[in-house]
Structure 1
Amino acid sequence: MASLPLPCEELPSPESDRCGSPCRSGPKRNHQCLPLDIMRLVFERLGFADLERAKCVCSSWQSASKQSKPNNQIPWMILFPKDKNYCLLFNPEEKDKVYKTQDLSNDFGKSFCVATYRSWLLMQPQKDSMEDCQYNLYILDLLTLERINLPTFESEYGLPSSILWIDEKTKDYIVIGMVDEEDAVVFKKGDNSWKQMPQLSGIEGCFNMVYKNHKLYCLNNLSGLRMRPPGTLPDEVSFAHSKNNVVVTVGGDILIVTSLCQYMSKIWKFRIYKMDSSKGNKWEEIFSLGDEAILLDLGITVIAKDIEGIKGNSIYFKGNAFEGGYDENDIFIFNIDTKKVEQPHQFVCSSVPCYDARWFLPSFKRE
């Protein structure tokens, strides 16, 4: 198990050169003297593992890597070991390696992750008692350890279904969540306290939201219009569990993904509906995502064409014991073409005892 950042000595380096050696001239070493702009263009196309290897070629490549960041279109898996103050990260590009983060704080092992954005986590501490309704959430960058403490608010359950957005340059951020079945609260950078969102008041059970491109998408309140997902189909009445998730695609299209599962069963069905604005904002079922894949927990799609480690035309989702006979840290892929559920990287989930697992899109800072 490696720790972040990955040490160069664990990576292969050229036989005739060692990490940090000076750039040398000669016909066999012209690749080391490429212009900086060209190296940046190359490095920004690399994934995390390849960039870590590239920066160990020579000092000039290492310098260029500090001004670049790896391609972060590939979702990583983040696992939360029980009662531990660190996380485990799995990169699908590397099939048998798990990275361990630094110690994240003394209270991290007693907190739950309720939302992610890039490498930022929205953490909710455990309650000391059932009577305690005070919550002190905080935002944490698991790679830099930067922490933002949020004001206390009162709720019976905290913010179990919430969203997080943060601008990594300005550090502006927004946290939105439902404190009960009818009331949503929001906290933004610069506020002194949590504020109620009247726009969402009265929308019972609005526990599924996505924030993208400075727009808030809610399952029953999309772009300011009250909309409901398609009705239950006749052949779905035998399914004990049914859930709708709103998803925003790379191109900005709005999808509703209906997941269906028999109680304590591993038989899943998914149906995908797309809003057709040309037909009066009607929902139509679609049967292909093309070169994209859905990250259901994040409510987004990502490009999967020619990217190793992620399958196109698939739905990445998390199962748990209530929703279909799975452990809470089980991560699965539904192949839309074959209509079958696959368990990717099974060795990760089975070998590491964790209380939770999520997909997330890491952001690696090189400045």
Structure 2
Amino acid sequence: MASPPLALAQSPPHCWSELPLDLMQLIFERLGFADFERAKSVCSSWLSGSRQSKPNNKIPWMILFPEEKNYCLLLNPEEKEEKLYKTHHLGDDFANSLCLATCRSWLLMKTFREVPLYILNLLTLERINLPVSYGFDSPILWMDERSEDYLVIREDLAYLKKGDNSWKKISEQLSGSQRSMVFKDHKLYGLTKEELRIFDFSGEFPLQVSRVNVGGCVKLEKIGGMRSPEPWEFNQLRRRNNVVVTLGGDVLIVRSKNPHRSYSWNFRIFKMDSSNEEAIILDLGTTVLAKDQEGVTSNSIYFTNHQMYRFGADIFVFNLDTNKVEQLPQLVSSVSFSEARWFVPSFRND
């Protein structure tokens, strides 16, 4: 009698939660921010593995501020479906607040009442109340993710650091408001009517390290003919000079013009060297790598019209190759929102 064939040994089924840590890290580091957040909620093992990794997030998201709401809508340009994500409740006074600046996931907020400013983390809901109020329009916000050290800089070169109880001036001798400012690698790049000023904030006190006359680049031509029916400040916003610092550290000056009652824009870029594989995010004063990235177009300028009008919140992309402008995204055209801004999602691993 023939003996029965040997039974195949059945190996126990593998569980995704038992992946080796080094393999799990390779998975996490290939995910964008949204997929990273989803993956770390799979199980406790994946949550633990996520703390050793960072998401592969290279392009900004958009924040939409619905009118009179205590939450925001977030749009990820990498997702072709253009999904909108709703944040948690952001506080009872959020609906009566105005966003002045962003730094990664942190927002600098001002209420419509004469009360101190506050800084809010859009994702973790952490809040820092500042000891000062604010009367300017376009400050700079910088945050250290771990220590929560912060720095706020006004256009008149007054600044506030963590531990300060009042504004301090960089120098009383420097006159002229900064028309555009960018903060990168502990340096402030400020553009006035005719000068580009660079200040180093890495020490205990800020120091001016460069001062260059760029009047030939930034001088805007006068409006001729009949007087415009719009207020003077609207004409100024339709014709702006923006300073942009690229990923490689090059400084660009971007001139924008928007004719009265027109949806067309003209841009001129003054630069030393730049890669057309990058895209300019005008709202953040920086560039992002656009090659092989979903949701962002190379050699383009992304901007929101609150930079031109300070009212409304349309989002546009200007293609420098075709000289055409396109409104983005089509999905949110039915959403009533008062403002739109760019931000770079971030989080802490602790």
Query: 2:184 corresponds to which residue?
Result: 212
Q: Is the 8 A contact 1:165 1:174 kept in 2?
A: yes
How far 1:31 sits from its partner (Å)?
7.1
**1:306-317 counterparts in 2 under 5 A?**
306-317=292-303
Counterpart residue identity of residue 265, structure 1: S
How far 1:108 sits from its partner (Å)?
0.9
Query: 1:281 corresponds to which residue?
Result: none
Change (3 A) 1:82 1:227: same
Q: Could you report, residue by residue, the CA deviation over 1:149-207 in whole angstroms, capped at 9, with x for unpaired residues? A: 11134x6xx121100001101111100013xxxx332100111211123167312x313
Query: 1:141 corresponds to which residue?
Result: 121
**1:23-172 counterparts in 2 under 5 A?**
29=14, 33-55=18-40, 60-94=45-79, 95-127=81-113, 134-153=114-133, 158-172=135-149
How far 1:312 sits from its partner (Å)?
1.6
Tell me the distance in 2 between the aligned counterparts of 1:119 and 1:332: 22
Query: 1:222 corresponds to which residue?
Result: 197
Query: 1:272 corresponds to which residue?
Result: 269
Counterpart residue identity of residue 267, structure 1: S
Q: Is the 8 A contact 2:74 2:85 kept in 1?
A: yes
Q: Could you report, residue by residue, the CA deviation over 1:318-364 in whole angstroms, capped at 9, with x for unpaired residues? A: 114x947x97210110111111101222212x121111001111103
Query: 1:319 corresponds to which residue?
Result: 305
Counterpart pick for 1:194 among 150, 167, 184: 167
Change (3 A) 1:29 1:210: same
How far 1:101 sits from its partner (Å)?
0.9
Which SS does the other structure have where 2:338 is aligned? strand
TM-score by length of 1: 0.77
Tell me the distance in 2 between the aligned counterparts of 1:151 and 1:54: 39
How far 1:34 sits from its partner (Å)?
4.2
Which SS does the other structure have where 2:213 is aligned? coil
How far 1:217 sits from its partner (Å)?
0.3
TM-score by length of 2: 0.81
How far 1:83 sits from its partner (Å)?
1.3
Alignment: residue pair count: 315
Tell me the distance in 1 between the aligned counterparts of 2:44 and 2:93: 39
Percent identical: 55
**Bigger shift: 103-112 or 239-248?**
239-248
Query: 1:22 corresponds to which residue?
Result: none
Q: Is the 8 A contact 1:88 1:100 kept in 2?
A: yes
RMSD, aligned CA: 2.9
Counterpart pick for 2:338 among 352, 355, 360: 355
Counterpart residue identity of residue 188, structure 1: K
Change (3 A) 1:225 1:237: farther
How far 1:366 sits from its partner (Å)?
4.0
Which SS does the other structure have where 2:142 is aligned? strand
Change (3 A) 1:232 1:31: same
How far 1:69 sits from its partner (Å)?
3.1
Unpaired segments ≥5 residues, structure 1: 1-24, 128-133, 277-285
